[in-house]
Amino acid sequence: MSDLLYSEEEEALRSAVRDLLGDHCDPAGVIARVESDAPHDTAAWKALAQNMGLAGLLVPEELGGQGATHREVAVVLEELGRFVAPVPYLSSAVVATEALLECGDAELLERLASGRAVGVLAVGLHRAPGTAFSVARLENGRLHGQLTGIADAGAADVLLVPAEDGGLYAVEAADAAIAPQSSLDLTRPLGTVTLDGAPGRRLGESAPAVHRALRSAAGLLASEQLGVADWALTETVRYLKDRTQFNRPVGGFQALKHRLAQVWLEVVNLRAAARSSADALSTGEDVEVAVAVAQAYASPAAVRIVEEALQLHGGIGMTWEHPVHLYLKRAKADSIAYGTAGAHRTALAALVDLQAP
């Protein structure tokens, strides 16, 4: 049976990350930052990646990383979700890193693990593991084409670009044109990458690298969704104990209590699903099913939980000044990221032999 709890070391890691993000990512600061031209919080990223060494959790020690597992990464992602922190952690420390681990590129892994460079896989954020993705054209060894919907492209130092020959290429960001797209989720902005004869270095085969990267991302995204959902529940309970209407705290009305109890139950389920997929990724056992189950459950659950939080906050929940909208946007975007719940259910149907008509 998989270990669904948190170890003492994982709890210590959580509180260290939470302390750091508490200093960097207060809600008003995050709202102000994402409205600016520099939506990514580079100071928070530097503190996480370089000072705490968290960008290299998945990278073995001999390649300059921490040699930890997906379980620790999941705990970091829970806290990043709790603060909707605008840092390219999932993109660089998970997605790009997993792709590089598959290709075995020591030089780039070391750059990413140390936090000196941000790596971004140039595959649309919406792609599910195991599905088709867009590729760049190759002409005389140079890369051409436009790839859209690339998460955190604006923060990238190096892009990992799949090309038409089935290879995955490293392209320095300076050699590409990266334009921001106006994104639903302000805290994980998307960008368009335009390649016009960019030089690239072939790292290896793209299909296995992209599959590993997207599967890991989908499985660990559930932990980010848990962080988002847990914030929504905690804040809503706090608000409903404070807010009075009809001369009572509104949290005392049974209609609202039942809704919050239901939200709690979904958070509890979400935690079990997220821990299960993080544990499966770390042990390599039952990974495909565990990831598909986690995403099929987590995406609609996190959206519903934050939607409930918004409604239960009443009028203030609908404003720009209250941070609940950042969480709703993150939850909704996450429900499409790395495959929708429907895509993961379809994958599951084949995995557990429940075939469509």
Partner 1 sequence: MTDASELRRRTTELLAAHPPATTERLDFLRARFDAGLAWVHYPVGLGGLDAPRALQAVVDAELAAADAPDNDPRRNGIGLGMAAPTILKYGTPEQHSRFLRPLWTGEEVWCQLFSEPGAGSDLAALGTRAVREGDNWIVNGQKVWTSGAHNARWAILIARTDPDVPKHAGITYFLCDMTDPGVDVRPLRQITGEAEFNEVFLTDVRIPDAHRLGETGDGWRVAQTTLNNERVAIGGMRLPREGGMIGPVAKTWRERPELRTHELHQRLLKLWVESEVSRLTADRLRQQLSAGQPGPEGAGMKLAFARLNQEISGLEVELLGPEGLLYDDWTLRRPELVDFTGREAGYRYLRAKGNSIEGGTSEVLLNIVAERVLGLPAEPRTDKDVAWKDLAR
Among 180, 196, 199, 264, binds partner 1 (CB under 8 A): 264
3-state secondary structure of 335: coil
Among 16, 138, 184, 272, binds partner 1 (CB under 8 A): 272
Binding pattern for the stretch 4-43 against partner 1, x by CB under 8 A and - elsewhere: xx--------------------------------------
Q: Are 254 and 325 in contact (CB under 8 A)?
A: no
Query: For residues 242 and 316, what is the distance between their CA atoms, to the nearest angstrom?
Result: 14
Q: Are 263 and 308 in contact (CB under 8 A)?
A: yes
> Which residues touch 66 (CB under 8 Å, ≥6 apart)?
53, 54, 56, 57, 59, 72, 113
Of 47-55, 59-67, 190-198, 245-253, which part binds partner 1 (CB under 8 A)?
A: 245-253
Q: How far is CA 279 from CA 65, 130, 216, 285, in A?
A: 20, 21, 11, 9
Query: For residues 318 and 252, what is the distance between their CA atoms, to the nearest angstrom?
Result: 22
Residue 323 C-beta: closest distance to partner 1, Å: 21
- The yes or no reply on residue 349 touching partner 1 (CB under 8 A) is yes
Tell me how many residues contact partner 1 (CB under 8 A).
40
Among 257, 285, 314, 316, binds partner 1 (CB under 8 A): 257
Residue 131 C-beta: closest distance to partner 1, Å: 17
- The yes or no reply on residue 287 touching partner 1 (CB under 8 A) is no
Using CB under 8 A as the binding rule, the residues of this chain from 289 to 308 that contact partner 1 are 293, 296-297
Comparing CB distances to partner 1, the nearer of 167 and 251 is: 251
DSSP states of 81-150: HHTT----HIIIIIIIHHHHHHHT-HHHHHHHHTTSS-EEE-S-TTPPTTS----BEEETTEEEEEEEEE
Pairing state between β 158-162 and 201-205: unpaired
3-state secondary structure of 69: coil
Q: Are 264 and 251 in contact (CB under 8 A)?
A: no
Comparing CB distances to partner 1, the nearer of 159 and 270 is: 270
Assigned token pair, 62: 């001999």
- The yes or no reply on residue 237 touching partner 1 (CB under 8 A) is yes
Residue 5 C-beta: closest distance to partner 1, Å: 5
- The yes or no reply on residue 126 touching partner 1 (CB under 8 A) is no
- The yes or no reply on residue 248 touching partner 1 (CB under 8 A) is yes
Of 54-62, 116-124, 210-218, 346-354, which part binds partner 1 (CB under 8 A)?
A: 346-354
- The yes or no reply on residue 245 touching partner 1 (CB under 8 A) is no
Query: For residues 136 and 165, what is the distance between their CA atoms, to the nearest angstrom?
Result: 9
The residues of the shown chain that bind partner 1, judged by CB under 8 A, are: 1-5, 237, 240-241, 248-249, 251-252, 254, 257-258, 260-262, 264-265, 268-273, 275-276, 293, 296-297, 345, 348-349, 352-357
